[in-house]
Amino acid sequence: MTTKIYVNLVVKDLNKSIDFFTRLGFKFNPFFTDETAACMIIGENIFSMLVTESKFKEFTRKQINDAHKFTETFISIELDSREKVDEMVYKAVAAGGASYFAAEDLGWIYQRSFEDLNGHQWELLFMNEEAMNREMEKTSNHNTPN
């Protein structure tokens, strides 16, 4: 069974990327950080390895995408509140990133996104579990045959 996840992201300037994510409130594991990569702690068992392009090339035979031009993936993180979602987007923009999409509020889920210094898309969301359960209950009652 999987116990941890490490998402590897290519970065142009490791020190600038560390500074950017530090300003958003993330911490780094110094044991897995050197001049070619940094281990950003996202959650208890969730990490992102910020890897320089030259180091990343050692792990693949494929061409590395320029995330400013092409999207291969986006990273979604659930936060504890709408306010924390907004706060992280504001911090990302202040640290040199860009807001990516306008906020979307579906009642049971609130989400916003930003682009980091290297063009990677990050989606932040808050799920209101009570509202989600009510919505799911309405949907299941609506789909129940009479």
Whether 42 has a pLDDT exceeding 70, the answer reads yes
Read off the pLDDT of each residue in 16-20 and give the average, rounded to a whole number: 98
The DSSP annotation for 57-80 comes to GGG-SSPPP-TTT--S-EEEEE-S
Global confidence as pTM? 0.83
Work out the percent of the chain whose per-residue pLDDT is above 70.
90
Q: H or E segment at 107?
A: none
- Residue 38 has which token pair? 């940094």
Contact 127, 136 (CB under 8 A): no
Give, as one character, the DSSP assignment of residue 144: S
At how many degrees (to 10) do helices 82-94 and 14-23 cross? 140
Whether 36 has a pLDDT exceeding 80, the answer reads yes
Please provide residue 84's backbone torsions phi and psi, each rounded to the nearest 5 degrees: -70, -35
Q: At the top level of CATH, which class does the domain 1-62 belong to?
A: alpha beta
In CATH, the number for domain 65-146 is 3.10.180.10
Residues 118/119/120/126 CA torsion (nearest 10 deg): 120
Q: H or E segment at 90?
A: helix 82-94
On the 0-12 / 13-18 / 19+ scale of CB atoms within 10 A, 139 is: exposed
Q: How far is CA 22 from the centre of its chain?
A: 14
Domain ranges within the chain, ordered by starting residue: 1-62, 65-146
- CB atoms < 10 A from the CB of 48, how many? 23
Summarize pLDDT for 47-102 with one digit per residue, the tens: 999 999 999 999 999 999 899 899 888 899 999 999 999 999 999 999 999 999 89
